[in-house]
Amino acid sequence: MENKITISPVTRIEGHARVTIHLDEDGKVKNAYFHVDQFRGFEKFSEGRHFSEMPVITERICGICPISHHLASAKACDDILGVDIPKTAKLLRELIHMGQIIQSHSMHFFELAGPDLILGWDADPRIRNVVGLIQENPELALKAVKLRKYGQRIIELVAGRRIHPTFAVPGGVNNALSPSARDEIMSGIDEMISYIKEGIKIAEDYIEKNRDLCNKFASFSTGYMGLVKDDGSLELYDGKIRFMDKDGNILKEFKGKYYLKYIGERVEDWSYLKFPFYKPLGYPDGVYRVGPLARLNVADKISTPLANEEFKKFKAIGYGKPVEGSIYYHYARLIETLYALERTREILDDPDVMSQDVLVLGNVSNEEGIGVVEAPRGTLIHHYWVDEKGTIEKVNLIVSTGHNNWAMSKAVEEVAKAFVDGKNLKEGMLNRVEGAIRCYDPCLSCSTHAIGKMPIVVEIYDNSGNLLESVVRD
Amino acid sequence: MKNLLIVGFGNEFRRDDGLGIKLLDQINENVDKLKVQELSIDLVDILKEYDIVLFVDASIEGGPISFKKIEKEEKFSPLTHHLTCEELLFWIDALYKRSPEFYLLSIRGYDFDFGEELSEKARENLDLAKKFVQNFINETISNKLSD
């Protein structure tokens, strides 16, 4: 073997973000911002390709939720063909989407959020992480691994490969479900439900003991947006977009294809990531949140029994109004994971899931195609414009982290004002600022479509604009 | 227990970032291979089954190819979903009480823009990496046979 040993960095980190905290003359926080300093590029990269390639191109945007991009893209392609895909194809697409939700949500809670909740905000940073989590509760850590693996296994069994499948194609999917795959997935559901219920119990205990903090931590008013079924229940794969104002009034329900009528995008000079807003209310009055908290806020109920019981407890937190505290994102994420597991069983119990009728063929019929799904982090919109041969002329992608851009910056500001003392800076203060961002589980490579070298830099400036402190977390 | 797994990771649509994936496509030896875009926690349940794991990734600096043995490390990235090889090794040791040998082969890349084509220099480095991995496989197999 060649005897050549050199230290070399690996490159895979999802994006490059920066938090700046600005102090007044008394050392108190005046403003704080969450900056995303990268650029968008996948839209340009896709121009000139054939539309049918898009489901396999766009899933490369993100290594964490490739399936969401794959499916939003396939739905946009269906729209270009002008076809209604077979029921079995819909079921199978939704099935891998549930796998996506399970793996992404469970990884976030146990790996990233769990240390804050289980070990505490001010715990020694050397143990306030997965290391501490493993030491505190190795069985729980193992269950987190199994949950993530189970979600990935659903994708692998149904779509043929764990990442970057070619499964969803314009007009449906390219493979029927095998009985052995169905049986394997089904055999694991009860165990996984027991694991996620354990996570929900952790979240509920935390909320119970820290009710005041949960209600105040990065709590602010915004609108909320998410998909719902026709009966108003939670929907993650295919439904109508519901927009709710800060008081809980449903302002509008519309099909995803009309998103441009209702969603505008604002550019700020301190971030490359755009700031979407609800057009009828303008900017900034129309800023809104997406993702687990938003979805549970806009939904009237959940269609599966166990998740719906948890949903009722969630709704009780807001006393009929939207739940505003950002920490509740974690709780909502776990409830959605429970729903995804129950929904997986429902799909597998549907006799149509084993049908071989999985694809309809068609020709380019429309110059535009729009696909919308609820990705783990929120509403994901793919919009393609094509010529008569189906060549992509223009692409617009609005990703979940983009929708939450304003909210993440607001969360950072709220928490910095509440906890950061510029004259007596402590590590736990900065951890709370990061924790505010963590609630939203941002995926910066997805939102900026670019490779970065470090996840976050926190910079603190005095009243004269001098940099007082810079903390790099990588 | 399985002997050797080669894990290639990266994004083929970010030009040289896909070096690890492209290398796996060129390895015809009869060995277990795994392609991923990022390293995440569920991998520990797969990696724990092997004696030796060779990770292959693109690098933004260093020589044409670089090779090192991975030591477990209690690192933590507070916002990212991506784990390092060192963290994965720590997880396996902590959860399964196993310590497979981990190695990282880094291939120097130069162009990480959107696209599928490798830069010219990266292609040259890929050839070097391919020979290195073939030697690594042969040596691992011969070591196993002599055990």
pLDDT reported for residue B19: 94
Among A260-274, A453-467, B3-17, B90-104, the range scoring the smallest mean pLDDT is A453-467
Distance CA A239, CA A230 (A): 7
Q: Does A14 touch chain B (CB under 8 A)?
A: yes
| pLDDT exceeds cutoff 60 at A228 | yes
Nearest to B17 by CA among B55, B54, B53, B60: B60
Tens of pLDDT along A65-104? 889 999 999 999 999 999 999 999 999 999 999 999 999 9
How much is the average pLDDT of A261-266? Answer: 93
Q: Which of B109, B99, B105 is CA-nearest to residue B51?
A: B99
**What would the pLDDT profile of A349-374 be if each residue is shown by its tens digit?**
999 999 999 999 999 999 999 999 99
| A14: confidence class by pLDDT, cuts 50, 70, 90 | very low
pLDDT in tens, B2-40: 799 999 988 888 889 899 999 999 999 889 999 988 888
pLDDT level of residue A458 (50, 70, 90 thresholds): confident
Pairing of strands A456-461, A250-254: unpaired
Q: What pLDDT does residue A169 have?
A: 97
A interface test, pick of B13, B35, B104 with most A CB neighbours within 10 Å: B13
Rounded CA-CA distance A401/A17 in Å is 12
Residues in Cβ contact with A322 at an 8 Å cutoff, skipping those fewer than 6 apart = A224, A244, A246, A247, A248, A297
The pair of three-digit structure tokens given for residue A134, joined into one six-digit string: 């493993």
- Enumerate residues 434 to 463 of chain A having a beta carbon within 8 A of any beta carbon in chain B: 434, 437-438, 442-443, 449, 451, 453, 455-456
Nearest-by-CA chain B residue for A153: B42
What are the b/e assignments for A419-443, b being 16+ CB within 10 Å?
Answer: bbebeebeebbbbbbbbbbbbbbbb
A:80-109 residues touching chain B, CB 8 A cutoff:
103, 107-108
The pLDDT, as a whole number, for residue B1 is 59
Q: Does B102 touch chain A (CB under 8 A)?
A: no
pLDDT per residue over A277-322, tens digit each?
999 999 999 999 999 999 999 999 999 999 999 999 999 999 989 9
Rounded CA separation A33/A416 (Å): 10
CA distance B70 to chain A (A): 10
Rounded to the nearest angstrom, the minimum Cα separation between B127 and chain A is 15
Rounded CA gap, A47 and A64, in Å? 24
Q: Which residues contact A177 (CB under 8 A, 6 or more apart)?
A: A92, A95, A158, A353, A354
Residue A11 pLDDT: 28
B2-9 and A467-473 as β-strands: parallel, antiparallel, unpaired? unpaired
Query: By three-state DSSP, how is residue B133 classified?
Result: helix
Is A308 within 8 Å of A301 (Cβ atoms)? yes
Shortest distance, CA A371 to any CA of chain B (angstroms) = 22
| Max CA pair span of chain B | 46
**pLDDT per residue as tens digits for the range B102-139:** 999 999 999 888 889 999 999 999 999 999 999 999 98
A327: pLDDT strictly greater than 50: yes
pLDDT at A417 > cutoff 80: yes
Half-sphere exposure of A199 (CA within 13 A, CB side): 34
pTM: 0.90
Q: CB distance A6–B62 less than 8 Å?
A: yes
Split at pLDDT 50, 70, 90, the class of A376 is very high
> What is residue B65's predicted lDDT score, i.e. its pLDDT?
96
Q: What is the pLDDT of residues B69-100, one digit of tens each?
A: 998 877 666 556 777 898 899 889 988 999 99
A20-34, A153-167, B5-19, B32-46: range with lowest mean pLDDT: A20-34
DSSP collapsed to 3 states, chain A: CCCCCCCCCCCCCCCCEEEEEEECCCCEEEEEEEEECCCCCHHHHHCCCEHHHHHHHHHHHCCCCHHHHHHHHHHHHHHHHCCCCCHHHHHHHHHHHHHHHHHHHHHHHHHHHHHHHHHCCCCCCCCCCHHHHHHHCHHHHHHHHHHHHHHHHHHHHHHCCCCCCCCEECCEECCCCCHHHHHHHHHHHHHHHHHHHHHHHHHHHHHHHCHHHHHHCCECCCEEEEEECCCCEECCCCCEEEEECCCCCEEEEECHHHHHHHEEEECCCCCCCCEEEEHHHCCCCCCEECCHHHHHHHCCECCCHHHHHHHHHHHHHCCCCCCCECCHHHHHHHHHHHHHHHHHHHHHHCHHHHCCCCECCCCCCCCEEEEEEEECCEEEEEEEEECCCCEEEEEEEECHHHHCHHHHHHHHHHHHHHHCECCCCCHHHHHHHHHHHHCCCCCHHHHHCCCCCCCEEEEEECCCCCEEEEEEEC
For A187-217, what is each residue's pLDDT tens digit? 999 999 999 999 999 999 999 999 999 999 9
A11 neighbors B60 (Cβ within 8 angstroms): yes
- Say yes or no for a CB contact (<8 Å) between A455 and B91: no
Alpha helices in chain B (DSSP H): 19-26, 44-47, 85-96, 120-146
Query: How confident is the prediction for chain A on average, in pLDDT?
Result: 87
| Partner-chain residue, chosen from A63, A144, A474, that has the shortest CB–CB distance to B38 | A63
- Residue A125 pLDDT exceeds 80: no
Confidence label for A473 from pLDDT (cuts 50, 70 and 90): low
What confidence category does residue A451 fall into, taking pLDDT thresholds of 50, 70 and 90?
Answer: very low
The pLDDT of residue A460: 79
Categorize the per-residue pLDDT at B147 as very low, low, confident or very high, splitting at 50, 70 and 90: low
Of B42, B68, B90, the CB nearest to A152: B42
What integer pLDDT is reported at residue A40 of this predicted model?
Answer: 59
Per-window interface: B 115-144 vs A, CB < 8 A: 115, 132, 135-136, 139
The percent of residues above 90 in pLDDT, for chain A, comes to: 61
Q: Please list every residue in chain A whose beta carbon sits closer than 8 Å to the beta carbon of residue B78.
A: 112, 129, 431, 434, 438, 455-456, 473
Q: Which backbone phi and psi does A165 adopt, to 5 degrees?
A: -70, 160
Alpha-carbon gap, residue A345 to A355, rounded angstroms: 17
Structure tokens that stand for A306 in this block: 């166990």
Whether A433 and chain B come into contact, CB under 8 Å, resolves to: no
Q: Which residues 43-72 of B are in CB contact (within 8 Å) with A?
A: 44-45, 55, 57-63, 65-69
Given a contact cutoff of 8 angstroms between Cβ atoms, the answer to whether B91 and A134 are in contact is yes
CB-based contact B87 A130, cutoff 8 Å: yes
Contacts of A130 in chain B (CB under 8 A): 76, 87, 91
> Is B147 in the A-facing interface, judged by CB distances under 8 Å?
no
Query: Which of A64, A126, A138 is opposite residue B38, by nearest beta carbon?
Result: A64
> How many residues comprise chain B?
147
pLDDT tens-digit series, residues B34-74? 998 888 888 999 999 999 999 999 988 889 999 999 988 77
User: Is residue A449 predicted with pLDDT exceeding 50?
Assistant: no
Q: List the structure tokens of A461.
A: 């400036």
The answer to which of A25-34, A38-47, A61-70 has the lowest mean pLDDT is A38-47
Whether the per-residue pLDDT at A453 is higher than 80: the answer is no
Q: For an interface test with A, which of B19, B35, B49, B77 has the most A Cβ atoms less than 10 Å from its Cβ?
A: B77
Angle between helices A427-438 and A405-419 (to 10 degrees): 160
Report the pLDDT value the prediction gives residue A279, as an integer from 0 to 100. 96
Distance CA A350, CA A1 (A): 55
pLDDT value of residue A19: 79
Q: What does the angle CA A320 – CA A109 – CA A399 come to, to the nearest 5 degrees? A: 75
